[in-house]
Amino acid sequence: MKTATGTKISGGIAVGKLKLYRPKTYEISEEKADDPVSELERFESAREKVREQQRALHEKVVAEAGEDSAAVFEVHEMMLDDRMVSACREIITDQKHKAEYAVRRGFDNALRQFRNMDDPYFRARSADVEDLKIAMLDALFGNEPDSLPVTEPSILVADDLTPSEMVRLDRSLLLGIVMREGSTNSHTAILARSFGLPAIIRCREVEDDWDGKYAALDGYDSRLYIEPPRELIDSLMAKRKDELEKETLLSELKGKPSTTIDGHNIKVYANICDPSEVEAVLSNDAEGVGLFRSEFIYLNSRTDPPEEEQYRAYRKVLEALAPRPVVIRTSDIGADKAIEYLDLEKEENPALGYRAIRICLSRKDFFKRQLRALLRASAHGNLGIMFPMITCLSEVRECKEILGECRRELENEGAETGNLETGIMIETPAAALLADELAEEVDFFSLGTNDLTQYTCAIDRQNEKIAAFLDAHNPAVLKLIQMTVEAGHRHNIRVGICGELGADLSLTETFLRMGVDELSVNPGSVLPLRKQIRSITLGENEGPG
């Protein structure tokens, strides 16, 4: 199977034959016009014809996809009164060239100017100039606009498509679109999205001899598969089903609060591991990030990542999500997340070993680099810093002391910092048992049920052989969660869950009755969880808030 990768325009899955489209080209000479006056008349009547065509396309799209999608053709009509048209007239009247040559030169000059613009919106307008140029040349040569070669259900492949070509396609036969060039801001892209067609652009690996081949287009992940096996098709179809369910949930729940029928509100946040997941946070309408596992920055680097690099990564996420809260957990490396440049020794029991806060507190410079980066990033959003693997009070106090030291250093250096909250993960039974004392020190707790279950039940979470012994709903773990929530609330701090159990819909009501204030789950679970919360009725004296 061959594959090609592009850039997403519109999600969806298409399976069918590929059809390659090559637009006709015109040979145009520099020949002078014998009679510039009649040449100008030819130009003006071509322009009138193109204007009529654009009006007809506008009406067609209004009827099929609404006024917003059709606006491009009004823009085209206006462009027919633009400076590039006056330039064409001058080439005909002053330089006495034929209308075809004037169109090519006048429109190509405008094309170059648009393509060189810094603003991506204006750069994308070059496709509209190209569209009008082709339409003008068709009119001058007396040709009808190209009818595209789709005569059976197909995935259309083209170097680029103009908005007019896109609209003239018979969409009952069009399964999806793959372009070798193109821009995400172009009107063609906007039309593909509003027609709901799977579409990708800048898919440069497409080969000419793929014409007619059976293929699958994955618009969600911007990939084209040539002659895909049955299993791949099945998994793409399953993906489409999931995505459609998500879209339905989004249309039902986007912007709605995560509130029970009787008005108890709970925050639903997303867990992320990488700045690139910001898009998933937004597209799933999460209310913020409850756990940003900062290990990515260490795992993606060959050397200890400098403060500046960390600052830029954290800042990017905070800015993209502001004013939503973002909780960044300090490094939780060691155990299963080995980092070569830290030279960590192999251990008999890594889960009980030198990891997370234990590394940070014994390698102060390493820890300070991250804390300084976080403090600087806090000026750019709503940040919470969270310390993992806490087992006693002195660890939290030491973390806070080092954080204070970093803040003082930065203030002396004149660096900008912002307000932030501090919290800890409750993921060891020791922390749950000490929750009353720990709550005095921090602004929030977040229950890491993955480790809390591992350490409470003495079941290595990495060992598949003993997975059968694991009861995710072990009452001992639920009891520790309950104790932690009660202790947190006695000291007026928020308590959330960021381990996998937070996404377990069969426990949502239990957690709400316990009074859990926040649930942070993988982005794909945000909306199903919100739906679940909105179906629950608690009682007057129960629940969060």
Q: Which residues are annotated as catalytic?
A: 187, 498
| Closer Cβ to ligand PEP, 134 or 442, answer by number | 442
∠ Cα 244 250 255 (to 5°): 175
∠ Cα 85 87 91 (to 5°): 115
Partner interacting with residue 164 (select from Mg ion, ligand PEP, none; CB below 5-8 Å by kind): none
Candidate residues 188, 258, 294, 449; the one interacting with ligand PEP per rule CB under 6 A: 449
Residue nearest to Mg ion (CB): 451
Least separation in angstroms between CB 54 and ligand PEP: 56
- Block residue for tokens 């995710």: 472
Q: How far is the C-alpha of 487 from the C-alpha of 481, rounded, in Å?
A: 10
- Residue 332 touching ligand PEP (CB under 6 A): yes
Please check whether residue 481 is in contact with residue 508, taking contact to mean a CB–CB distance below 8 angstroms: no
∠ Cα 460 461 463 (to 5°): 65
Q: Which of 47, 133, 170 is nearest to 125 (CA)?
A: 133
Q: How far is the C-alpha of 481 from the C-alpha of 508, rounded, in Å?
A: 13
Partner interacting with residue 498 (select from Mg ion, ligand PEP, none; CB below 5-8 Å by kind): ligand PEP
| Residues 481-510 contacting ligand PEP, CB under 6 A | 498-499
Partner interacting with residue 293 (select from ligand PEP, Mg ion, none; CB below 5-8 Å by kind): ligand PEP
Least separation in angstroms between CB 302 and ligand PEP: 22
* CA dist 483 → 377, 423, 430, 477 (Å): 34, 17, 12, 10
DSSP class of residue 334 equals: B
Q: Which stretch binds ligand PEP (CB under 6 A): 46-54, 138-146, 412-420, 442-450?
A: 442-450
**Token digits for 463?**
């060992």
Return the SS3 of 259.
strand
Q: Which stretch binds ligand PEP (CB under 6 A): 102-110, 162-170, 445-453, 526-534?
A: 445-453
Which residues neighbour 451 within 8 Å (Cβ) at sequence distance 6 or greater? 389, 425, 427, 428, 461, 499
Question: How many residues line the site for ligand PEP (CB under 6 A)?
Answer: 10
Least separation in angstroms between CB 369 and ligand PEP: 20
**Token digits for 154?**
């197909």
User: How many Cα atoms sit within 13 Å of 268 on the Cβ side?
Assistant: 35
Q: Which stretch binds ligand PEP (CB under 6 A): 14-22, 81-89, 436-444, 449-457?
A: 449-457
Q: How far is the C-alpha of 279 from the C-alpha of 207, rounded, in Å?
A: 31
Partner interacting with residue 7 (select from ligand PEP, Mg ion, none; CB below 5-8 Å by kind): none
| Closer Cβ to Mg ion, 135 or 357, answer by number | 357
Candidate residues 451, 509, 517, 518; the one interacting with ligand PEP per rule CB under 6 A: 451
Q: How far is the C-alpha of 349 from the C-alpha of 246, rounded, in Å?
A: 41
- Residue 355 touching ligand PEP (CB under 6 A): no
- Residue 450 touching ligand PEP (CB under 6 A): yes
Least separation in angstroms between CB 500 and ligand PEP: 7
- Block residue for tokens 């090609």: 4
Least separation in angstroms between CB 444 and Mg ion: 16
Q: Which helix (H) or strand (E) holds 93?
A: helix 83-93
| Closer Cβ to ligand PEP, 194 or 474, answer by number | 474
| Residues 410-439 contacting ligand PEP, CB under 6 A | 427
Give a three-class secondary structure readout of 384-427.
Answer: EEEECCCCCHHHHHHHHHHHHHHHHHHHHHCCCCCCEEEEEEEC
Least separation in angstroms between CB 386 and ligand PEP: 10
Q: Which stretch binds Mg ion (CB under 5 A): 3-11, 78-86, 370-378, 421-429?
A: 421-429
Least separation in angstroms between CB 180 and ligand PEP: 41
Partner interacting with residue 417 (select from Mg ion, ligand PEP, none; CB below 5-8 Å by kind): none
Partner interacting with residue 449 (select from Mg ion, ligand PEP, none; CB below 5-8 Å by kind): ligand PEP
Least separation in angstroms between CB 354 and ligand PEP: 15
Contacts 24+ apart (CB under 8 A), 228-237: 228/1, 228/15, 229/1, 232/1, 233/15, 236/13, 236/15, 237/13
- Footprint of Mg ion on this chain (CB under 5 A)? 427, 448, 451
- Footprint of ligand PEP on this chain (CB under 6 A)? 291, 293, 332, 427, 448-451, 498-499
